Every structure is written in structure tokens, then in C-alpha cells.
Structure 1
Amino acid sequence: MSFRLPSNVPNFDNAQRRFEDNVWNKFTGKEDGLPMYKDKPAGYGAKRTARRWCGRKRRVGLVALVVLGVLYWIGWRAGGKGEGAESGRGEWNIIPGGLTGKKGKVDWEKRRESVRDAFLLSWKGYEEHGWGYDEYHPIARTGRYMAQPNGMGWIIVDALDTLMLMNLTKELNHARDWVSTTLNYDKNQDVNTFETTIRMLGGLLSAHYLQDALPGMKPVNPTDEDLFLEKATDLADKLMGAFESPSGIPWASVVLSTGEGQASHADGGASSTAEAATLQLEMKYLAFLTGEAHYWEKAEKVMQVLDNNGAKDGLVPIFVYADKGTFRGNEIRLGSRGDSYYEYLIKQYFQTSKQEPVYLDMWNEALAGVKKHLLTYSKNSYFTVLAERPSGLEGAISPKMDHLVCFMPGTIALAVTGGMTLAEARKQPGWTKQNEEDMILARELTKTCMGMYRSTATGLAPEIAHFELADPPKMYHTEVLHSRSEMETDEGAEWKKDFVIKPADAHNLQRPETVESLFYLWRITEDEIYREWGWEMFDAFVKHTMVENGGGFTSVNDVRVVPPPTRDNMESFWLAETLKYFYLLFSPSDLLPLDKIVLNTEAHPFPRFDARKKRFRTGWGRLPRDAKGNIVRQKAEEKTEDKKEEGGGKDGGMKEVVGEKVGEQMTMGDSVPGT
């Protein structure tokens, strides 16, 4: 078999390397900080350090064959002018060994294998040049530990379940051996509570689940069957110290060796609201597996404290003080610092098989608040924009969308059908007109997110997009509009003028949120446009982020120019989320069926379970509200005293239910319980 290297792969010799500063480095001056890429504030990292790397000779041998083999099977054209590449629509013009012909039926199985090969290229580069490191720089082919000794297993643990889903047993065995012999959490290092929970704890728990759920994934040695659960329990016990704050809101970070929680090094010491409220799926599943109630109790207490602040229309400020339990400021957004709070509301409801309707109640309120305050339209083409309120709900709207916001359309679709297909859901007795409207909203927001990709020269989305709005802005709650653009791909297309990309926001960190929503929309609607958009995105990543010399793929600094300058960093979520979602998007729908699992915010799958088997149920009830949604304090205090008496003086116990029932278990289309 012969191979050839496509000519459109950029030359990375002397490429600029830029680093995004992190909170740890900025506020402590230390070099071992934990990068917070998942939930980074929009203005974060404006200051960058530039370096130039020397040219390197191209390696030969096994690594070169892997690279060329991947390119062959992926089938990217050698700088050709085929219809698919130029227009972004239609079928691909594939070299021999490719995936389709112009008129042929799309072979999604081969496209899925292309994603698998891209993962292997990334993994092999890391395995050869960065094994064990928490950070990996694919151009320099070096890495860095975030904690000594031997690091945190950041990239390895985050990718365990992707290895399983892709049936990469050889690579999985290597990773499992490293976890067994090297991974430990006795580090005299403070780590971010949220990032460590969603990536490390989530990765270990999903690996434990999938090794039993998928054929051929169990370890050869039966004594290793509980390896991932044992490591997860050890880590969770160290993370528990973060929850030992006066309010129950977790501290932003925790020293692993001592379990000492620490306030944020930034933001006036306040924790991120999203971070505090994105620990619940992991802790609840661990509680279910072990029968240990304290994991459940600590996680649920956070939700009670946040809700007792009485957020307006279900929309919460993006910072909360761990010592006081009160919000800091009034900034509202579903981008960084706010995003996954909303994601975990509906997912908590589904995780426990709809046994905790309080979270459906909170989700419904929040979605109604989004429609009332945050949804607007671009000026000319009427793209639906999920905007921000930086000065609170009474302040002016900011037409800004982080790429992080693009989780929302998929989450809306999941909330509407519960994971069933749209065709199945429409047959259910609880289906309503509101459900139909919410599905349209999910589609429109997905189109906006895809527009972030199609509006750039590289076909890659920026970290943040701004939008041109009418004056005054057209709002969703006053009129429902639909995009009047087909997102034509010609360079001067008028619709692209609605998207404004500022230089400081033009980088791409390999984020997964848009392909995540494409995956949900494809599974639920069964409309192949979402698969086609996903293939277009995957093609752009391969063309513009793959590096030479077998290093893998890198994040880039400016999606507006070709070739884009590189950042020389591979995010762990490239393996854990982005490539996993591409793989699932092109897979049969019986692989991780959506009505049987929930995916945490790092794309780690957990099973839905019956919490009553362990006698776990919601241990808190919402405080009473008036017709405008404001907490009625006097009645709230009386009910609190009543609850304490019912619970023998213990507020919020989990094994016996304490607190009022906030609503009957609801199906699709049920309204929010009255207050």
C-alpha cells in the first residue's frame, strides 16, 4: 500500500507557540498550576507569551507510517478544488481509499473510522512523546506535570472511556497499567475542585461503568476489576475537603494531600457558580456505587444553598462565595462560569430516573428565564443569539456568545425528549406545543453555533463570537423569528456580517460544545444535516490543526487566517470530548443510547439508576416563592423550623426524606409546579 502526504497540511517549522496564562500562574507565580480550560472566563488569557521553535527534521519509521496511514484512510484531498471542500455542502471529493464518491451514499462507518484514526494519531503522539504528562505540546513534542511526583494522569484518565468506546484494547491496557502502577493523589498541591471532579473522577467512574457495559473491556486480571472505582473513591475522599466551607459551597480548590479547601486565587475569592454546581452527577453516581451517603449529601447541599438565594427567573449570577453561600455580583451568562450549572439541572433529573423533580422544576424556570431575558436575534439574518447580561437582568444585553454556550441546544433537545427520538416522543401523552417550540429553538441555536464555524476562513469556530443586533434588539419573548440564511459558504456571503470576531477571541481550543449539540440533535431528530455539519467540522480540524512529525493535533491562535498560527497545546478534552462526540455522531444510535445514560460535562457516560435502591432521595425542598418568583422569607423560615422538627433537628438528611415534595414526577410537556 502506498501513502502520500496532502499538500494542504501547513508547514509548522518556526511556528509561533503561544500560551494561555492560567489563574495559578497569574496569582501565585508557580509553574505547576492546573489549567482551567473547560470553564475559562471570556476575558481570560489576553496576555500571551510568544516563542519560536526551531525547525525539526521530519521523523521516519513507525510514527511516520502512522501519520501517513491516518491521512490515507481519512482521505483528505491534496489541496484539490472538489465541490465538498469549496462549498462546505454536498459530497466529498475523495482520493482512492476514501469514504464516498460525489454521487455515492455516505459511508458513515468509514467516517467513524476516520475519527478513530485521528484519535489514534493524537494518542500515539502523546504516548511516544508525552506519556504520563498532564499537558502535552504536540509540535514541540514535550509535556509537563501539573503536580509532583508523576502528575495527575490528566490526559490518560480523561481518555479512558474513549479508548473503550473505540475498542482500542492495546492502548487501554497501557493506560490501565499506568493507572494501576503510577497514579496516586498524594500530592502536596492544590487543584481545581471542578476540573478534577469532571475530568479525573468522572473519567475513572465512566471507565468503571463501561468496562462492564461494553464487551471485551474487562481487565484480564480479575483483581483489577475494581481498580478504577478504588482510584475514584480515593480521589473523591481527598476532594471532600473542598466541601468543608461554612456554607457548604465548595472551595474553588483543594490540597489533595491534606484535603484542605482553598478559596479562589481570583474573583475576590468567590467560586464559580458553574463549578460549584457541576459536581453532582459524579458524586451521586459514586454514592450509588459505594452506598456512602456523604458524597450525595455534600453535592445536594450545594444545590440547596444556591437555590435558597432566590435567583430571579431561574438565572443565577456567575460567582458565589463559599464562606457565605451568597452570590457575588449580578452578572448573568450561560458561557464561562455559568454554563454547566444549567446543564446539570436537567441531567440530575434524568440521572436518578426522574425521581428528583426539583431539578426539572429548576430547569424549567431557568429555560423560561433564558427565553425572557437572554434570547435575541442578529440584525440581518435573524440568527438566534443566546446573549449575556453583564450588569444583571435589569442591565443592557451584550450580544456575545462564548463557544461554551453551544452546549445549550443539545441540552434543550435532551430535556424535551428525555433521550427518545423525536418521533417516539411525539407519540407520548405528555407531548405539547411547547415541546415543539423548544425543539425549534434547539435547532435555531445549533444553526447559530454552526455559523461560528462557517463564518471563518478555516471553518473553525472562534472562542467567542459577537453579533450585530438591531436597535433596539429584537427579543425572543416578544417575537419568535427564524434564521433566513442557508449559511452559504462563498467568501462574501451577507450572513457572515452578523458574526463579529475580535482579535482577542479568534483562537480555537479544540472545544467540543458544538459537536456535542450536533450529536444530541442527530440522535433525537434523526436529521442527517447534523451529521453532515459534523463531518464538515471534522474536516476543518484535520486540515488546520494536525501537526507534522506524528505529534497529533493542536489548538490554534487565529481561525480567521490560513494557515492559522498554532498554540502548541492539545487539550485533554480533545480526546475525552471532541473526538468522542464526533465518533458517536457517526456511530449507530445503540452505542450509548441517550435514554439509558447521562453524559457529564466532560462527556463521561454514567448509567441512569434507581436511587431508591440505596434509599437516596432529594434531601431538601425549595423555599416558597410569590407569583413573581421571589422567596417569601417569613414562610420560608417557618417551613425551615418545621423541617428541622420532622428530621429530629438534622437539616437535609438524605437517607430519610426531609423537606417538602416540590412537585409530582413529570413527563414531557408538564408545566412547572405552582408556587
Structure 2
Amino acid sequence: MGYSRDAWGFDEYHPVAQNGSNLYGKDGIGFMIVDSLDVLIIMGLDEEYKTAREWVANVLDFNQNSYVSLFETTIRVLGGLLSAYHLSGEDHMYLTKATDLADRLLGAFNQSESVFPIKFVNLNSTSRRNYDGSCLADIGTLQLEFKYLSHLTGDPKYWNYVEKIMLRIDELEKFDGLARNYVSVSRATFSGALIGLGALGDSYYEYLLKQYLLTNKTEQMYLRMYNEAITGVKKHLLKRTNSSHLFYLGEFYYYNGGKKTRFVPRMEHLTCFAGALFALGSEKIHDSFSEENLIIGKKLTHTCCEMYFTQATGLAPEYVLYNTNSTGDTLYDNGRKHNVLRPETVESLFLLWRVTGDIQYRQVEFLYLLTFKEWGWRIFQSFENYSRFPEGGYTEIVDVDAIPPKRTDNMPTFWLAETLKYLYLLFEDPDNDLLSLDKYVFNTEAHPLPIFVPSEEIRGEGWNRQ
């Protein structure tokens, strides 16, 4: 592929310029290659995997004077190494690299004034950037990776650092289970007024459920927090349009302890992971809301697919404004009509296919004529038609409603790690039982981690907290 030819070793690929760039620092830390290791294993690309493994073993070095995002590095690089360790048959090289990286990332905790970690951490020094702000997703999307590392190494320190975050969040005041999207690191409190499942908050809610599932449903605290949050989502964020009755999740602003609130009918593509969240929750938590939650997951995913199918290119914009009047469903912001190859909609299609068996189904208000696989195939064809670059790679596009679309010369790592992986798994033969949801939990970067029961030596307070 173009990346191997033009940008090998760089964090990101620019297909038009036929070169690469690094996300943090001059040397990079293997975002593209490490993020893609499990894809190569899953797809059986043995020669490409061998080349990538050799680069990780012999070239990748985390001893750099570079500031990196704790969140992005954890979900992409640490998660990628841990998944590769398991899927490779426990190749110890990956665990050694993962442990080295995690120890360096712990500086984000050790340099913080509270249990909330700082947003950026230097990989080989104790110097820090004087920046207090962070967000809910950045502090609440570390737990799967660090807990699994404690399980593998027997060292509870990784578990303890990330669990203290969750214990503190559990103590803070929330609005019907919903946490505000911004946080103050120094005070370990929420800040701002925004609540939502888009950027800044999304994967926190994802990890409430997945923490419960990863440790084999042993930590009841996360089941409670998830159920409280889902109740709040349905009460305050879930709406539907008047024209076509499309279900969507908007943004909520919470002022003065809830004395004043404001709803904004804006749904980001990032929020489209919620279809998968509702579907997975309905499958794994058998209660009186399971059927209702599955229906919500289906309808939200239908809305997200419509974000694709109503555009000239068949690709979704970054977000949609929904019309609260009786005529028409959507309003668009011309400044946010670009597509960056995001995975959330195909992630939800994959989860719904795994949960339901991809059957056609009829609801009172809708006749869904296409199965989840057929929806996924339409989306894939649109990527092929408008995002694929002839000389190799795929690019972001500027305006999803313009043909031919202008390109933004970038191919992010999640295109390989998530979007293509979920599309591949969507069309995989179900008889192969590849990465069963009974055995694996996918982190927010689509890296599969095996479900485990934590030992007494590593498990923390969440074990007992209800």
C-alpha cells in the first residue's frame, strides 16, 4: 500500500503528497504501525505483519523528549501493543514494549495535583505543560488498557491509577447519571456546562459498560454507573425529528445545578458509536430495558446511516443539526461538512449484526429495507468512490455534498485500526467465530482485549463498591 512505500514509520500518511508526518515530536511513536498490528493479524496478512513486527521490535523507541496525548497514546499505541500481544500468541516483545510505554505514561498521574491525570505527558522527563484543563473522555478512557496490563504483569499500580479516576467521578455530582464533558485536573472536578456523547465525552460512557464486561461482570460499580448514565441519556439527550421520526442524540447544557438547562439538536458522527453501545448493553445486560435499548440502538444507527445516504458522495459529515420544526429533518453547517474516515457508524453496524444476526426487521414507524451488512457495503462503496486515492491510500474530503469532492491530504490511523477492521468483521463468515463478543471487549480504538477475571492481588475498590 501507499503508506509502506511513502511513509513507513511515520504516525500518519498523506497520500497526495506521498509522505508522512508524526503526531508528537520529530521521531513519532508508531501510531500507524502499532495501531494496525491486530488488523494485519486478523486479516491474515502474514508478510505485512512480519515487517511491522520487525519495525516495532527493532526501531520503535519510547525514550523520546516528546509530549504526547495520554488519551491518544493509550487507546492507540498501548491498546495496539496489548492486543497484538494476545493475538500473536503472547509474543513477549509486545508486552515489554507496552510496559515500557505505560511506565512513561504514568508521569501524567505522578505530575498531577489530583487523581485526574494531566492531558499531555513527556515520555522521558518530569517536565510538564502548565495546562489544567482536560475532558471526560481523556480521563475516562484509560481503564481497559491499564487494567489489562495489571492483569498481564501482576502489578496493581496500573490498575490503581486509573481506578482512582473512576472512584472520584463516581463521587462527583452528576445530572441523572450524566457527567459534564470538561474537567479541572487540579481540583478533580467537572467544569463547564456541556453534556453529550460526542467529542470530549463519548468514550467515557463506552468504557462504563466495557469495564464491567472486560472483568467478566465482576465489578458492579460500573454496571450501576452505566445504567444510571443510559437512563440520563434517554431522558435528556435522546430526541427524534418531527418529519421522519429519526432518533438522534443531541447536546445538553447544564447550569446552576440543573436549575437552567438548554438542549442543542446537534449530533456528531462521533456520537454514532451509541448504536453499538445500546446494542452491546442490550445483549450483555439482561434486564427489563434490554429490548427497548436494542430498538434505540437500531434507530440511532439508522439515523447515522442516513447521515451518509442523504449526501451526494454517500459519506457523512462531521455533524448534523436536526430541524426541530415540522418540515424537514436536517440542517447543515457548511463549516463541518467534511468527512475524516471515521469508524463509528460501521462500528454500530458490526455490533448490531453480531447481536441480531443481521435480519431484516420492521418497526411501527419504519420499514428497513436493507440489512446491516448492506448498509455497511453502501458506505464502503462510497469510501471507495470518493476517498480512495489512485496512487495509494485514502484521504479525508472537504465537502460530502460536492462532486467531485476536494481532498484533505490525510489518512488517520483509525481508518485502518477501526473503520476497515469493523467493515472486515462485518463481512466475516459468522461460523468462524472470530473475536466473539463473549470472549473479547474492543477498546475505543477497536483493539480487542480478552475478557478476564482479576486476581485479588490487582483488583481495587471497584470490586466491592456497588
Partner residue of 2:451 out of 594, 600, 608 = 608
Retained in 1: the 8 A contact 2:25–2:67?
Answer: no
Q: Distance in 2 between matches of 1:332 and 1:531?
A: 32
Retained in 1: the 8 A contact 2:282–2:289?
Answer: no
More off after superposition, 347-356 vs 326-335: 326-335
Residue 383 of structure 2 aligns with which residue?
A: 541
More off after superposition, 254-263 vs 190-199: 254-263
1:552 deviation in Å? 1.2
Instruction: State whether structure 2 residue 261 is matched by structure 1 residue 395.
Output: yes
Retained in 2: the 8 A contact 1:263–1:270?
Answer: no
Residue 427 of structure 2 aligns with which residue?
A: 586
More off after superposition, 135-144 vs 339-348: 135-144
Instruction: State whether structure 2 residue 307 is matched by structure 1 residue 452.
Output: yes
The C-alpha deviation readout for 1:589-613, integer Å capped at 9, x for no partner, is: 311001110000000000000113x
Retained in 1: the 8 A contact 2:144–2:214?
Answer: yes
Residue 243 of structure 2 aligns with which residue?
A: 380
Instruction: State whether structure 2 residue 464 is matched by structure 1 residue 598.
Output: no
Q: Secondary structure at the match of 1:228?
A: helix
Residue 573 of structure 1 aligns with which residue?
A: 414
Residue 525 of structure 1 aligns with which residue?
A: 356
Retained in 2: the 8 A contact 1:355–1:617?
Answer: no
Retained in 2: the 8 A contact 1:241–1:261?
Answer: no
Partner residue of 2:338 out of 489, 493, 507 = 507
Q: Secondary structure at the match of 2:76?
A: helix
Q: Distance in 1 between matches of 2:250 and 2:465?
A: 34
Show structure 1 runs of 5+ residues with no match: 1-123, 213-217, 219-224, 419-429, 472-493, 621-656, 663-675
Retained in 2: the 8 A contact 1:157–1:199?
Answer: yes
Partner residue of 1:408 out of 259, 270, 274 = 274
Q: Distance in 2 between matches of 1:524 and 1:192?
A: 34
Residue 40 of structure 1 aligns with which residue?
A: none
Partner residue of 1:196 out of 56, 73, 80 = 73
Retained in 2: the 8 A contact 1:263–1:322?
Answer: no
1:661 deviation in Å? 3.8
Retained in 1: the 8 A contact 2:156–2:459?
Answer: no
1:259 deviation in Å? 4.5
Residue 204 of structure 2 aligns with which residue?
A: 341
Show structure 2 runs of 5+ residues with no match: 360-370
The C-alpha deviation readout for 1:271-294, integer Å capped at 9, x for no partner, is: 111110000000000000000100
Matches for 1:214-363 after TM superposition, within 5 Å: 225-244=91-110, 245-264=112-131, 269-363=132-226
Distance 1:309 1:555, change over 3 A: same
Matches for 1:148-159 after TM superposition, within 5 Å: 148=25, 150-159=27-36
1:535 deviation in Å? 0.3
1:617 deviation in Å? 2.9
Distance 1:400 1:439, change over 3 A: same
Q: Distance in 2 between matches of 1:358 and 1:412?
A: 19
1:615 deviation in Å? 3.2
Q: Distance in 2 between matches of 1:334 and 1:148?
A: 30
Q: Secondary structure at the match of 2:85?
A: helix
The C-alpha deviation readout for 1:616-668, integer Å capped at 9, x for no partner, is: 33415xxxxxxxxxxxxxxxxxxxxxxxxxxxxxxxxxxxx7xx541xxxxxx
1:401 deviation in Å? 0.4
The C-alpha deviation readout for 1:425-448, integer Å capped at 9, x for no partner, is: xxxxx8554211111111111111
Q: Distance in 2 between matches of 1:260 and 1:303?
A: 26
TM-score, L = length of structure 1 = 0.65
Retained in 2: the 8 A contact 1:467–1:500?
Answer: yes
Q: Distance in 1 between matches of 2:14 and 2:128?
A: 30
Q: Secondary structure at the match of 1:234?
A: helix
Q: Secondary structure at the match of 1:527?
A: coil
Q: 1:602 corresponds to which letter in structure 2?
A: E
Residue 371 of structure 1 aligns with which residue?
A: 234
Instruction: State whether structure 2 residue 19 is matched by structure 1 residue 142.
Output: yes
Q: State the Cα RMSD in Å.
A: 1.6
Q: Distance in 2 between matches of 1:180 and 1:360?
A: 38
Residue 126 of structure 1 aligns with which residue?
A: 3
Distance 1:539 1:288, change over 3 A: same
Distance 1:431 1:322, change over 3 A: closer
Residue 467 of structure 1 aligns with which residue?
A: 322
Retained in 1: the 8 A contact 2:159–2:460?
Answer: no
More off after superposition, 306-315 vs 400-409: 306-315
1:252 deviation in Å? 0.4
Distance 1:164 1:263, change over 3 A: farther
Retained in 1: the 8 A contact 2:281–2:290?
Answer: no
Q: Secondary structure at the match of 1:446?
A: helix
1:391 deviation in Å? 4.6
The C-alpha deviation readout for 1:575-602, integer Å capped at 9, x for no partner, is: 0000000000001231100111000000
Q: Secondary structure at the match of 2:82?
A: helix
Retained in 2: the 8 A contact 1:134–1:151?
Answer: yes
The C-alpha deviation readout for 1:526-562, integer Å capped at 9, x for no partner, is: 125101100000000000011122x211111100111
Q: Which runs of 4+ in 1 moved over 4 A?
A: 430-433
Distance 1:535 1:661, change over 3 A: same
Q: 2:444 corresponds to which letter in structure 1?
A: T
Q: Secondary structure at the match of 2:261?
A: coil
1:387 deviation in Å? 0.7
Q: Distance in 2 between matches of 1:510 and 1:169?
A: 25
1:361 deviation in Å? 0.1
Q: Distance in 2 between matches of 1:404 and 1:162?
A: 21
Distance 1:617 1:523, change over 3 A: same
Q: Distance in 1 between matches of 2:129 and 2:185?
A: 10
1:380 deviation in Å? 0.7
Q: Secondary structure at the match of 1:136?
A: strand
The C-alpha deviation readout for 1:237-270, integer Å capped at 9, x for no partner, is: 0000101222210100100111545454xxxx31
Retained in 2: the 8 A contact 1:247–1:305?
Answer: no
Q: 1:363 corresponds to which letter in structure 2?
A: Y
1:234 deviation in Å? 0.4
The C-alpha deviation readout for 1:365-415, integer Å capped at 9, x for no partner, is: 000001111111112111011111135553221000010000011111111
Q: Distance in 2 between matches of 1:391 and 1:554?
A: 37
Retained in 2: the 8 A contact 1:401–1:465?
Answer: yes
Count of residue pairs the alignment pairs up:
449
Retained in 1: the 8 A contact 2:156–2:457?
Answer: no
Q: 2:338 corresponds to which letter in structure 1?
A: H
Retained in 2: the 8 A contact 1:547–1:553?
Answer: yes
Q: Distance in 2 between matches of 1:444 and 1:175?
A: 39
Name the structure where strand makes up a greater proportion of residues.
Answer: 2
1:312 deviation in Å? 1.6
Matches for 1:25-174 after TM superposition, within 5 Å: 124-148=1-25, 150-174=27-51
